[in-house]
């Protein structure tokens, strides 16, 4: 997709698709759906909510960059904004983080980490980060934490929309737009549409022993589209039917690692998803609610390297159905909200990377069927809220020639929030529970070869974790928190090289993770008449993730790619509709091997971003990222671009 094509996308959406309607329908309550849990915070773990204004002020171009400001989150980039990028939460792997879009899981049975650069910020309203494992609430994928990407969901009774165009270093361009509004008189039927295209020429410099090199074959293009319909029958929120569909296409070069370049390799990726949801409410009797959802997710990839005569094709399909019910009971000062539900999930993978039991690599189809029953009760009054949760999961994995794998796991959790002195704006929140994570198809059945091989004898990962946090607002405009967390993990799956150099997954007997997460924000008024403020934000995470296996030669060592220290900070000068933000990001050294003899250097980067909203809906943002032009890597062998400039212009109506 060339720059001119990107511009056409923006031009396409400059005119409203729906006629203006004057409707005085009451504004509906904003509903934020996060997996199989309620709309309150009492069922979730320690949570950070990142809104659109925050990441635009920081100059974030991708979901990964927006997440960098969250405590306990480690970002792993592999190159440009179109190359794969994943995150770790509290020392987890990327595969152990459950990614949701409006509550619908995006992880595949293949088992690889979700590429967060495949989602466009164009249609995203906010991002929730729930830290810590909680399988009882979110299911087996929520081993390290949950990231819930929330698109525009608030009902609009008049047409609204926006378009944008962006440009940046290395011939990087983007364009897109969105529009939503009523499709029927009174606004009972509403719709939304968003389109987004991105292109980069890549080819940035990176250091090598023999001098500076150019990262060739790093060009790429991507397209995102989303459409949705919502029917609020009668306009009273008693029956809401929603239909959503999304599309992602990507074509990019695969430059390879610095030591083994692949100048001819290409990757084609696609993702299609759809969901149908129906929410029924009975306001007259105990506020009963029935929430049903059917979703489908199809993901495919095709890799080709002509120079090495390598071709790899993968096709993953997920079908999922969920039904849950809830009610609200008021008993004196207490409010009780019980939940009961079930979910069914069928995963299938056809891949040239899978191997049969006799060791041959043939296009094969692996399948996994999962079912779960879950229940929880949210109980709260003015001072305390308690949410005990239970869940039972069954999984069955099949692939030709291998013995059928069947696993049954129960999980539980308890979340408690205490607000002993509401007038003092101080609260305590804690979580305790269990989590587990099944190995993916790649972990089990990856084609045996000189580079990598799966391990069909892998055991599921299991953990017991807890945390406790203090939230305090000593005076207006100041908020701070400190959270201690700890997790005991058994059978952690870790890919590592064998004596012969082949990468193969194995279970680590015991891993102990613990750390501190600290946050501070302070909004300082300067001139109230001119709406001038200074905003200070910062977070710091100290974390150890150590092998505690009794007979391991690496006992006591930090696991690879887990930094001991990480911090982010920013200062923003805000005046009416404009902001000037300077931010800093630092991360300690990260070991790259289990023996802790090799490591990546610590890093320190600075960004500067100016954002303003002009009259009549126009917006403009300009920034310089990595001001010091630091050359570094997040993953061994994959250099990250140095200094980058970026500008974005937009119009909202």
Q: What CATH number does the domain containing 421 carry? A: 2.40.170.20
**Residues 399/364, Cβ–Cβ less than 8 Å:** yes
pLDDT at 43: 57
**pLDDT confidence bin for 39, thresholds 50/70/90:** very low
| Spatial contact of 37 and 44, defined as CB atoms under 8 Å apart | yes
- The pLDDT-based confidence of 149 (bands split at 50, 70, 90) is very high
Lowest mean pLDDT among 66-70, 412-416, 448-452, 476-480: 448-452
Sequence-distant contacts of 329-334: CB under 8 A, at least 24 apart: 329/286, 333/381, 333/382, 334/379, 334/380, 334/381
The residue-averaged pLDDT of 403-429 equals 89
Q: Which residue has the higher pLDDT, 7 or 306?
A: 306
pLDDT digits (tens, 9 = 90+) for 308-341: 888 989 999 999 999 999 999 998 899 999 999 9
Within a domain: 316: yes
The mean pLDDT value for 170-180 works out to 96
| CB-neighbour burial class of residue 545 (10 A; exposed 0-12, middle 13-18, buried 19+) | buried
The whole-number pLDDT of residue 448 equals 64
User: Does an H or E element contain 56, and which?
Assistant: helix 52-58
* Residue 196 placed within a domain: yes
What are the counts of helices (DSSP H) followed by strands (DSSP E) for the chain? 5, 38
pLDDT for 587: 96
Give the range of the structural domain holding residue 397, as residue numbers without chain letter: 46-652
pLDDT tens-digit map of 529-557: 778 999 999 999 999 999 999 989 999 99
Report in angstroms the alpha-carbon separations of 450 from 190, 362, 419.
54, 16, 57
**Phi, psi torsion values for 271, nearest 5 degrees:** -150, 130
Q: 631: number of CA atoms within 13 Å, CB side? A: 11
Tell me the pairing of strands 405-421 and 384-398: antiparallel
Q: What is the DSSP string of 256-312?
A: EETTEE-TT-EEEEEEEEEEEEEEEEETTSTTEEEEEEEEEEEEEEEEEEGGGTEEE
| 109-134 residue pLDDT tens | 888 899 999 999 988 999 999 999 98
What would the mean pLDDT of 184-190 be, rounded to a whole number?
A: 86
Query: pLDDT-based confidence at 44, cuts 50/70/90?
Result: low
CA separation for the pair 244, 247 (Å, rounded): 11
Q: What is the pTM of this model?
A: 0.91
Burial of 84-103, coded b for 16+ CB within 10 Å and e otherwise, reads bbbbbbbbbbbbbbbbbbbb
Averaged pLDDT for residues 389-408: 88
Alpha-carbon distance of 99 to 124, in angstroms, equals 14
Sequence-distant (6+) residues with CB within 8 A of 302 are 267, 268, 269, 311, 312, 313, 314
Q: Please count the structural domains in the chain.
A: 1
Whether residue 72 lies inside any domain: the answer is yes
> Is 9 inside any structural domain?
no
pLDDT at 358: 52
For 591-618, the pLDDT digits (tens) are 999 999 999 999 999 999 999 998 888 9
Residue 26 lies in a domain: no
Pairing mode, strands 565-575 and 599-600 = unpaired
Asked whether residue 294 is assigned to any structural domain, the reply reads: yes
Mean pLDDT of 419-436: 89
Average of per-residue pLDDT values in the chain:
88
Q: Which of 108, 143, 112, 140 is nearest to 367 (CA)?
A: 108
Residue 494 pLDDT = 87
pLDDT recorded at residue 109: 86
Q: pLDDT-derived band of residue 11, with 50, 70 and 90 as boundaries?
A: very low
pLDDT at 362 over 60: no
Give the residue, 1 or 219, on which the prediction is more confident: 219
Is the pLDDT score of 563 beyond 90? Answer: yes
Q: Across the chain, which distance is largest between two alpha carbons, in Å?
A: 76
Asked whether residue 10 is assigned to any structural domain, the reply reads: no
Structure confidence by residue, pLDDT tens digits, 577-591: 999 999 999 999 999
The DSSP 8-state label assigned to residue 576 in this structure reads T
Section 485-492 average pLDDT? 96
Q: Is residue 235 part of a domain?
A: yes
């Amino acid at each position: 997709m060339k720059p001119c094509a990107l511009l056409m996308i923006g031009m396409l959406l400059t005119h409203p698709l729906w006629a203006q309607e004057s409707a005085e329908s009451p504004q509906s309550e904003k509903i934020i759906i996060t997996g199989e849990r309620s709309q309150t915070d009492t069922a979730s773990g320690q949570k950070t909510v990142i809104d659109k204004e925050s990441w635009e002020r920081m100059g974030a171009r991708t979901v990964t960059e927006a997440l960098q400001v969250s405590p306990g989150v480690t970002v792993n980039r592999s190159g440009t904004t179109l190359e794969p990028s994943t995150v770790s939460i509290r020392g987890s792997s990327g595969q152990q983080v459950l990614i949701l879009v409006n509550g619908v899981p995006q992880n595949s049975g293949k088992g690889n980490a979700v590429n967060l650069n495949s989602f466009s910020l164009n249609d995203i309203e906010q991002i929730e980060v729930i830290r810590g494992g909680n399988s009882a609430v979110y299911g087996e994928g929520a081993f390290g934490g949950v990231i819930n990407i929330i698109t525009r969901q608030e009902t609009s009774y008049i047409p609204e929309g926006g378009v944008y165009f962006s440009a940046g270093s290395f011939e990087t361009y983007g364009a897109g737009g969105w529009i939503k509004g009523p499709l029927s008189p009174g606004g009972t039927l509403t719709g939304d549409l968003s389109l987004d295209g991105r292109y980069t020429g890549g080819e940035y410099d990176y250091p090598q022993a023999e001098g500076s090199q150019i990262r060739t074959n790093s060009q790429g293009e991507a397209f995102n589209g989303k459409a949705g319909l919502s029917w609020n029958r009668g306009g009273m929120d008693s029956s809401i039917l929603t239909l959503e569909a999304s599309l992602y296409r990507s074509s990019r070069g695969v430059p390879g690692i610095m030591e083994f370049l692949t100048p001819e390799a290409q990757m084609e990726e696609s993702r299609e998803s759809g969901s149908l949801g129906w929410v029924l409410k009975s306001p007259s009797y105990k506020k009963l609610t029935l929430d049903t959802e059917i979703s489908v997710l199809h993901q495919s990839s095709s890799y080709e390297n002509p120079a090495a005569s390598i071709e790899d094709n993968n096709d993953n399909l997920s079908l999922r159905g969920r039904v849950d019910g809830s009610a609200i009971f008021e008993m004196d000062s207490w409010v009780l909200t019980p939940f009961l539900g079930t979910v069914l999930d069928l995963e299938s993978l056809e891949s040239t990377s899978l191997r049969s039991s006799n060791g041959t690599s043939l296009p094969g189809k692996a399948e996994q069927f999962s079912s779960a029953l879950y229940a929880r009760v949210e109980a709260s009054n003015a001072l305390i809220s308690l949410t005990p949760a239970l869940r039972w999961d069954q999984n069955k994995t099949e692939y030709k020639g291998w013995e059928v794998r069947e696993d049954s796991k129960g999980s539980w959790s308890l979340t408690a929030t205490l607000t002993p002195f509401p007038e003092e704006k101080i609260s305590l929140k804690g979580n305790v529970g269990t989590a587990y994570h099944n190995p993916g198809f790649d972990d089990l059945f990856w084609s045996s070869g000189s580079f990598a091989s799966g391990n069909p004898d892998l055991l599921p990962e299991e953990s017991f974790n807890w945390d406790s946090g203090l939230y305090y607002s000593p005076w207006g405009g100041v908020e701070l928190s400190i959270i201690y967390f700890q997790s005991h993990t058994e059978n952690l799956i870790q890919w590592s090289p064998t004596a012969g150099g082949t990468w193969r997954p194995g279970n680590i007997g015991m891993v102990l993770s613990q750390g501190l997460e600290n946050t501070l924000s302070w909004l300082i008024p300067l001139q109230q008449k001119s709406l001038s403020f200074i905003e200070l934000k910062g977070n710091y995470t100290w974390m150890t993730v150590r092998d505690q296996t009794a007979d391991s030669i690496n006992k006591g060592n930090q696991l690879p790619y887990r930094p001991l220290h990480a911090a982010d900070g920013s200062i923003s000068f805000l005046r009416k509709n404009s902001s000037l933000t300077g931010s800093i990001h630092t991360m300690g050294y990260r070991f790259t091997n289990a023996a802790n003899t090799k490591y990546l250097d610590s890093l320190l980067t600075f960004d500067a971003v100016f954002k303003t909203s002009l009259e009549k809906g126009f917006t403009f943002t300009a920034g310089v990222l990595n001001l010091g032009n630091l050359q570094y890597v997040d993953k061994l062998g994959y250099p990250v671009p140095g200094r980058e400039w970026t500008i974005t212009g937009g119009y909202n109506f």
